[in-house]
A and B are shown apart, each in its own frame.
Chain A
Amino acid sequence: MENITPATAVKSQESGLRSGKSSIINVRERMMKYLFTACGIVAVACVLMITIYMIMSGAPAIGKIGIIDFLFGDTWHAKKEMFGILPLILTSIFGTLGAIVIGVPIGLLTAIFLSELAPKALKNIVKPAVELLAGIPSVIYGLLGANLIKPVMYWLEEIIYKNDPTHQFTGGANLASAIIVLAIMILPTIINISENAISSVPNEYREASYGLGATKIQTIFKVVIPAAKSGIASGVVLGVGRAIGEAMAIILVAGNSANMPELFNSVKFLTTGIVAEFAYSSGLHREALFAIGLVLFVFIMIINLILNGILKNGGKKGKSEKPAKSKV
Chain B
Amino acid sequence: MKKKLITIIAATAIAATAAGCAEIPGSQTSSTGGTSQTSGETSLSGTLSMNGSTSMEKVIKAVNGAFSAKYPDVQVNLNLTGSGTGLQEAAEGKCDIGNSSRELKNSEAENLEATVIGLDGIAIVVNTANTIDDISLDDLAKIYAGEVNNWSQLGGNDKAIVVIGREDGSGTRDGFESIVMGDKEANYAQELESTGSVINAVSTTEGAIGYASLANVDESVKALKVDGVEATEENIKSGCYKVQRPFICAVKKGNDNELVKAYLEFILSEEGQALVLAQGAVPVK
Which residues does A use to contact B, with CB under 8 Å? Answer: 76-79, 147, 150-151, 154, 158, 161, 165, 167-173, 251-252, 255-257, 266, 268, 275-277, 279-283, 285
Contact = CB atoms under 8 A, between A and B. Distances in A.
A144 to B, nearest CB: 14
9 contacts: A154-B206, A168-B146, A168-B189, A171-B207, A251-B193, A255-B191, A266-B188, A276-B192, A282-B80
Contacts of B160: 158, 161, 167, 169
Contacts of B162: 169-171
Interface string B203-222: 01111100000000000000
B102 to A, nearest CB: 14
Contact of B201 (A78, A169, A173, A277): A173
Interface in B16-54: 54
> What are the nearest 5 A-B pairs in CB distance?
A171-B162, A171-B205, A169-B160, A280-B169, A78-B168
Contacts of A167: 160
A151 B200 CA distance: 13
Interface string B167-185: 1111100100000000000
B243 interface: no
Interface in B224-267: none
Nearest to B55: A280
Given A78-B168, A169-B189, A256-B192, 7 more contacts: A76-B168, A170-B189, A171-B207, A256-B190, A266-B191, A281-B169, A285-B168
A276 B194 CA distance: 9
B190 A266 contact: yes
Interface of B: 54, 57, 80-81, 146, 149-150, 160-164, 167-171, 174, 187-193, 197, 201, 204-208
Nearest to A78: B168
Contacts of B81: 282-283
A78 B169 contact: yes
Nearest to A151: B204
A155 B54 CA distance: 38
Contact of A171 (B170, B189, B193): B189
Contacts of B205: 154, 171-172
B127 to A, nearest CB: 10
A277 B149 contact: no
A266 B174 contact: no
A270 B254 CA distance: 50
Nearest to A79: B168
A280 B191 contact: no
A279 B80 contact: no
B218 to A, nearest CB: 18
Contacts of A78: 168-169
A150 B204 CA distance: 10
| Most chain B Cβ neighbours within 10 Å, of A168, A170, A171, A257 | A171
Contact of B189 (A79, A165, A173): A173
A10 B146 CA distance: 96
A317 B270 CA distance: 77
Contacts of A168: 146, 149, 163, 187, 189
